[in-house]
């Protein structure tokens, strides 16, 4: 059994668990710590180090980040402190934890996990995994292979708005939308993605995946099959661990 610690940095919480990367299962109960206000690099690295200590993990660590990641550097910071832009976050976390750390975009991590162990397993062609939470993350999978850093939540939609500012789960809460109203917005976004990518499957993850019974009857794309993510909020943890097991494949 190849066990690697996966840590998922989110807008409201940072959670981690050791993962059996051969099966995609968590081998201990996940532990969550609230994301420090402002999500500044020095504060977040302290939480990541605390999670490593909590599990007593001695091997490699996979860490997700809610932004563009290329060769260990974080190049965008839509929902976290701007100090992340251009930062060598791999080096930051490696120094903080004393472990070999591998960084991956959070939605890409969820995507590779769903493609290997979840709702996209064995699906040929183009699979789009979308995580609806604080923002909208995206992972583009073709025949099981990840095309990293797509950032499709930042497509322009509804005039001068990014899609995530109008159709994310945070937008649903901000605008006090019921699930049918939110599904209409999300459906408009999915139709736009259908036009651009003609996917074979949509997988809907992130925080909304736990409420699929609420939006499922209302969210039906025009021609693409849609399913909720099966790994739900564990997908980022699993994907981070997977990428640490085979570094270099997500950048």
**Residue whose entry in the numeric block shows the structure tokens 């259908």:** 194
Q: Alpha helices, DSSP H only, in 98-201? A: 106-117, 163-167, 169-174, 179-197
Question: Which of 1.20.1290.10, 3.40.1080.10, 3.30.420.40, 3.40.630.30 is the CATH number of 3-108+234-245?
Answer: 3.30.420.40
CB-based contacts of 214, cutoff 8 Å, min separation 6: 179
Is the model's pTM score more than 0.85? yes
Q: Give the separation between CA 230 and CA 217, rounded to whole angstroms.
A: 17
Delimit the CATH 3.30.420.40 region(s) of the chain.
3-108+234-245, 122-229
CATH of domain 122-229: 3.30.420.40
**Which tens digits make up the pLDDT trace of 127-153?**
999 999 888 999 999 999 999 999 999
pLDDT digits (tens, 9 = 90+) for 164-206: 999 999 999 999 999 999 999 999 999 999 999 999 999 999 8
pLDDT of residue 159: 73
């Amino acid at each position: 059994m190849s066990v690697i610690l996966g840590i998922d940095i989110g807008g409201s919480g940072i959670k981690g668990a050791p993962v059996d990367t051969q099966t995609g299962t968590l081998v201990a109960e996940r532990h969550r710590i609230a994301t420090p206000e402002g999500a500044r690099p020095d504060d977040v690295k302290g939480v990541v180090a605390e999670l490593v200590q909590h599990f007593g993990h001695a091997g490699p660590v996979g860490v997700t980040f809610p932004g563009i990641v290329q060769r260990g550097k974080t190049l965008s910071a839509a929902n976290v402190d701007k100090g992340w832009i251009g930062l060598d976050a791999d080096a930051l976390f490696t120094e903080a934890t004393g472990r070999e750390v591998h960084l991956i975009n959070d939605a890409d991590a969820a995507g590779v996990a769903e493609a290997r162990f979840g709702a996209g397993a064995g699906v040929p062609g183009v699979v789009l995994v979308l995580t609806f939470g604080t923002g909208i993350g995206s992972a583009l999978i073709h025949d099981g292979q990840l095309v990293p850093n797509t950032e499709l939540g930042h497509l322009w939609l509804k005039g001068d708005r990014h899609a995530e500012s109008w159709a994310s789960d945070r937008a649903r809460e901000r605008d006090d939308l019921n699930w049918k109203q939110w599904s209409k917005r999300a459906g408009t976004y999915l139709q736009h993605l259908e036009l651009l990518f003609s996917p074979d499957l949509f997988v809907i993850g992130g925080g909304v995946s736990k409420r699929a019974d609420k939006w499922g009857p209302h969210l039906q794309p025009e021609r693409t099959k849609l399913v909720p993510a099966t790994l739900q909020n564990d997908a980022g943890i699993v994907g981070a661990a997977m990428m640490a097991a085979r570094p270099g494949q997500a950048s």
